[in-house]
Chains A and B, each alone.
Chain A
């Protein structure tokens, strides 16, 4: 099936190139039939890439080592779930996933708009196919997943141990879905600029795709953070790593676009700002893909050095240059149709929120690329760490959360000042109450930034509760419905508005978790022997005994830790470290495990109030004599005899455990981050979900407005 896979990829590239030509010819002179042919080229690309992807998936699931990629990223001992997801653990497979997702989403949007945007769509099609052609060229010419293994090995290398975590395997498809979905508003914005059709129609047509992109990207970022917290042994969920930052930047500009797009839809304003935001978001999504693959910046998440850097840089340069030229040459067409009527309006708050989001993006961009900037200016590569990022991002994040509460209580166009003051009364009282209540918690007053974040979150929650209550009350008065029915009906008839409010609550909860866990965290690094105890954050942690486990894929050494608080038993935590065999043939049957790759399994007690996080680093040096002795005396041991000897090492570790190093962390409210993420995702889904019988309702509402207008 290697040949069929290669044929599919080559065909995808050729069809994409044809589709670019057909769409542009159709847009200029050829007429709609050529445009339709271009659109169908997108469907065909999606079809052949789906076949290529299925072939590769099947090869991984069957452990077909005649595929070089399968041999280098999977093995017969890899569990089936990880075999299926190992496809995108490689550079080649992940690029195929990227272009396949792009083709699928592009097909969906072009099918949905096949009878609309007849002028813009051919250009958008050409741009989407241009993206597809670029990535198809990469997988055909530079990173082909259908390379043969000659001879095919009997066993594969297995999946990279760090990636053996469920959230890490779902994380890439989520991120890529976000990145590729953002290509859709990007392409339609460019199409609108090219045709000078800059009415909000392109925004309306791609709104759901932009929202879906935001949702997928949010979920992907959170899964990455979750993986970092529960799988990496350093004890954090965000390290301002370049690849993490690369995913956050398009999220920030995309969030800004989702807000400012509403102003263009309603008022015909901020056209230049909106196209700039959406173009920046599309380019930042490609930049994020580039950072993971080029090896240009050091990151734990990157694929390492590769030959893909230059083509990506050239592609980004084309995107930036083309976008800039189009925006500059269309400035006359991008003039606003209206103006801000009042500073006290939702439009003004959205604009402020946009400025904060873009400032955050700029700070993160500067910090991420500072090593390259400093090298270009001084000749020496310097980098900035978390304290630098925190200094600028924390105040901006507080402002962002606060503004997400201000927007919902201000009316569009112009708010009545007296009514606005009344609307702020309850939320400000909630914020003040939160401040007073937190005064009773020891140490909180000494952290003013964290306190401000908590108060801002209380403000947002009160605003949303007040909005829901007022809206429900208004519906009850108008329709006589019961409170639950009125609430459900209010939300379902205004999904975008109230879904957005739920997102605001989720984001506020998430930032509360970030503020609490980063400000009030207790960390201790200790070295303990069995029977010894260490204290951290009000807990006593006692090293009860060493543990070990032997499986086909790894040797696990760990510890049983008893957790006590105020003298009472809380739970027993079992952190461990898994040692995976190296493929280095110079290492012996025992050494290849302990000199290969190792990953931490964290011992975690999670709760809404706090997480207790533990990781262990067993002292392998204490076992070194035994490991070296086995390697020397039985260098060719394999199969059952090797397992027997590894079992002897594990038994020895359990029976005579040397002191082990532990990292112990008590971190308050980390779970709020995941919970906030889930709430935000639920809000996003509410906003995204089509209303039941939407068309009929819309027609009814439109007829009503029309009747009223005729009387006006």
Chain B
């Protein structure tokens, strides 16, 4: 009985591990990684903008300082969005060749 159970466990493990190898070749991850990295940076920047707003609302920043910080953060966010758009265009150009 134990031997049969052992064989079932072994077969199940092999099936789980080997199943991706039966698929066709997937896409290369380099472009995806670049896009994901920029998207993460953009999300972080949006979070920073919201945090600065909360800092201002809770009295940690004066009007002038908040405006300066907010302006700098938005400029950085726009730059990130430009880079993200460029990366997306590059990915779209690469995709037909993949």
Binding site for B on A (CB under 8 A): 1, 3-4, 7-8, 11, 15, 18-19, 22, 31-34, 36-37, 40-41, 43-44, 47-48, 51, 116-120, 195, 197, 199-201, 204, 265-268, 409-416, 418-420, 422-423, 467, 470-471, 474, 478, 494, 497, 698, 701-702, 705-706, 708-709, 712
Contacts and interface: CB of A to CB of B under 8 A. Distances in A.
Interface in B12-70: 12-13, 16-21, 23, 25-30, 32-33, 36-37, 40-41, 43-44, 46-52, 54-62, 64-65, 69
A412 B77 CA distance: 16
A416 B37 contact: no
Contacts of A413: 52, 69, 72
B9 A471 contact: no
A478 B53 CA distance: 12
A44 B29 CA distance: 24
A189 B49 CA distance: 26
Contact of A48 (B13, B36, B48, B69): B13
Given A31-B25, A419-B62, A7 B6 contact: yes
B14 to A, nearest CB: 8
Contact of A411 (B2, B13, B36, B60): B60
A4 B5 contact: yes
B16 A412 contact: no
21 contacts: A7-B10, A31-B25, A32-B29, A33-B23, A36-B23, A40-B16, A51-B9, A116-B36, A195-B33, A199-B41, A200-B41, A204-B43, A411-B61, A412-B52, A416-B60, A416-B65, A418-B62, A474-B58, A701-B50, A709-B77, A712-B74
Nearest to B64: A416
Given A40-B16, A201-B40, A712-B78, 9 more contacts: A4-B9, A31-B25, A116-B36, A195-B33, A197-B33, A412-B48, A416-B64, A470-B59, A709-B78
B81 interface: yes
A189 to B, nearest CB: 15
Interface size class of B (residues with CB under 8 A): 35 or more
A412 to B, nearest CB: 6
Contacts of B47: 265-266
Nearest to B22: A33
Contacts of A416: 60-62, 64-65
Contacts of B32: 118
Sort A-B residue pairs by CB-CB distance and give the 7 closest, nearest first: A118-B29, A474-B57, A36-B20, A32-B26, A411-B60, A411-B55, A416-B62
A404 B61 CA distance: 20
A422 B59 CA distance: 9
Nearest to B75: A712
- Interface of chain B, helix or strand or loop or mixed? helix
A555 B12 CA distance: 51
Contacts of B56: 411
Most chain B CB inside 10 Å of its own CB: which residue of A117, A195, A200, A411: A411
Contacts of B20: 33-34, 36-37, 40
B82 to A, nearest CB: 11
Contacts of A701: 46, 50
Contacts of B81: 706, 709
A348 to B, nearest CB: 14
Contacts of A204: 40, 43-44
A85 to B, nearest CB: 26
A508 B1 CA distance: 58
A478 B50 CA distance: 14
A119 B29 contact: yes
Contacts of A44: 12-13, 16-17
A421 to B, nearest CB: 11
B17 A41 contact: yes
A32 B27 contact: yes
A266 B33 contact: no
Contacts of B54: 471, 474, 494, 497
Nearest to B52: A412
